[in-house]
Structure 1
Amino acid sequence: MPAYLQLQIIKQAFPNTTVLKKSWNSFEIFIKLQPTPLSDTYKLKIIYRKNLYTEIYVIDKILKLAPNRKKLPHVYDSDKQKLCLYSPSKREWKPNMRIVNTIIPWASEWLYYYELWLPEGQWYGGGHDEYPNEKLDKVLRDE
């Protein structure tokens, strides 16, 4: 799907989208998401490169860590707060898919599970085996 069409669809669904950069095959935008009515609102940066990738970052706040954890759960980069929403090697997301129907709802779901993770450090959102010692104790070893 062309970048301009992805962007147009996103802007229709999220009228307050801020466009940082755009070209014929890419864009960078800010959107705000609130996973539930009781949740915080998060400002996200979405970077789309046609036929290559889509990246998403939480940018307006430093995400807190659960008391028994040393890094964020299910991210590509804990310091940059780059969310892991799909596995590129498994082709769970493809460039012909609408970002507004995939990446954005997945990001909202990630934020929802992040908020559930905060009190005790238990990740309920699925994905890869983030904490290999989870079944043994609540304190992460060998991180």
Structure 2
Amino acid sequence: MRNLLITKGRIEAANTNKSLFIEKCFLNKKKRELQIIMMVKVSSDLFDGEYKVKFTLFEKKRPQITVYDSEITTDKVEKIPHIFKKYSIPGEVRICLYYNGNGKREYGNDMDFLKTLFPWTLEWIYFYQLFKETGKWYGGGI
């Protein structure tokens, strides 16, 4: 099945200065599983500038969220907390937003994307910018 372009546009979260500009959004059927792939630009009053983010949502697997930043170099990838280093390369990092082990369920595919993954991604970017400035991760987590 070919990819199907769904939409292009801006989503504004109510009562906030958060926005999500959808550049591309595809439905893809791969290995008998439906995927939704969104390439977006995000901005917020929490952080400076705009970041490109790729959200890959699956029917049965955990979502994959990748943040793009040209300032991320090879040496910095090894130092950035809350990423999947195995899947991160200079310029793009797959970020870790929630813990899904020991019976603790912070995210499930039945949860609302705009109330979970989207704001969590904005928070991750905010803490990432602080990390770039201070060398310390203030975002908590494991």
The TM-score, its normalising length taken from structure 2, stands at 0.69
8 Å contact from structure 1 (residues 66, 119) kept in 2: no
Q: CA distance change for structure 1 residues 22 and 38 in 2, over 3 Å: closer, same or farther?
A: same
Per-residue deviation, 1:60: 5.2
| 1:1-143 mapped onto 2 (5 Å cutoff) | 14=20, 16-23=22-29, 25-36=34-45, 39-59=48-68, 61-63=70-72, 70-77=78-85, 78-79=88-89, 80-89=92-101, 90-128=104-142
Question: Unaligned stretches of 5+ in structure 1?
Answer: 1-6, 129-143
RMSD: 3.1
8 Å contact from structure 2 (residues 52, 69) kept in 1: yes
Question: Unaligned stretches of 5+ in structure 2?
Answer: 1-5, 13-19
Structure 1 CA distance for aligned equivalents of residues 126 and 120 of structure 2: 10
Higher relative contact order (CA 8 A, sep 6+): 1
Q: CA distance change for structure 1 residues 107 and 15 in 2, over 3 Å: closer, same or farther?
A: closer
Moved more, 95-104 or 79-88: 79-88
Per-residue deviation, 1:11: 7.2
What whole-Å deviation, never above 9, does each CA across 1:45-101 have from its counterpart, x for those lacking one?
00011131111001353436999x942121112425000101122321001101111
The TM-score, its normalising length taken from structure 1, stands at 0.68
Runs of 4+ aligned structure 1 residues displaced above 2 Å come to: 10-17, 20-25, 35-38, 59-67, 77-80
- Greater fraction strand: 2
